[in-house]
């Protein structure tokens, strides 16, 4: 499920049920479910006005943690709807009912026309970059 508010994704959740033994207890039952949720922020204490998503970027896996495999090409083909109105800045993720929340930070570099040229994705363990050419 993806929840939009004023053109931006504010929540996403996935529930995965498989016929296999997901939790590794040797029993295939209703405990073999996995779910996650994400809450997305478009402002921070330092960035108080949302940044327009002028390039119409929507990185499902990187930002919403929605693993779509080859479906990414359907998005770029315009088949999965519109991108968010603004560029996400922080994602708060909860996995499989855990009490703790993992935060991921998105730092954008914009060119003189306000198109994103770089995205730095950082969490408590890792950091990586995506670059964009317009």
Of 55, 57, 73, 76, the closest CA to residue 134 belongs to 55
24 falls within a domain:
no
pLDDT digits (tens), the chain, 134 positions: 778 899 888 888 776 666 666 566 766 666 656 677 888 999 999 999 999 999 888 877 667 666 666 666 665 555 666 788 999 999 998 877 677 889 999 999 999 999 999 999 999 899 999 999 99
Prediction pTM value? 0.78
4 in a structural domain: no
In a domain, 28, yes or no: no
Locate 97 and state its tokens: 């009912």
Phi/psi at 93 (5° precision): -120, 135
Position 87 in a domain = yes
Domain count along the chain:
1
Asked if the structure places residue 96 within a domain, the reply is: yes
7 lies in a domain? no
Residue 64 falls inside a structural domain: yes
Cα–Cα distance for residue pair 129/100, rounded to 1 Å: 26
- Our CA dihedral for 57, 77, 1, 8, rounded to 10 degrees, sits at 30
Q: Is 16 part of a structural domain of the chain? A: no
| Domain range for 78 | 40-131
């Amino acid at each position: 499920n993806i929840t939009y508010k004023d053109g931006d994704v504010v929540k996403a959740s996935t529930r995965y049920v498989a016929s296999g033994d997901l939790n590794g207890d040797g029993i295939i039952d209703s405990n073999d479910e996995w779910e996650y949720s994400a809450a997305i922020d478009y402002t921070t204490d330092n960035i108080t006005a949302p940044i327009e998503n002028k390039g119409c970027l929507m990185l499902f896996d990187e930002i919403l943690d929605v693993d779509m495999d080859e479906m990414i090409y359907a998005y770029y083909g315009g088949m999965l709807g519109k991108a968010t109105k603004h560029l996400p800045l922080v994602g708060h993720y909860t996995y499989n009912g855990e009490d703790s929340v993992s935060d991921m930070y998105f730092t954008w570099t914009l060119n003189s026309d306000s198109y994103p040229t770089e995205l730095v994705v950082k969490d408590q363990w890792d950091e990586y970059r995506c670059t964009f050419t317009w």
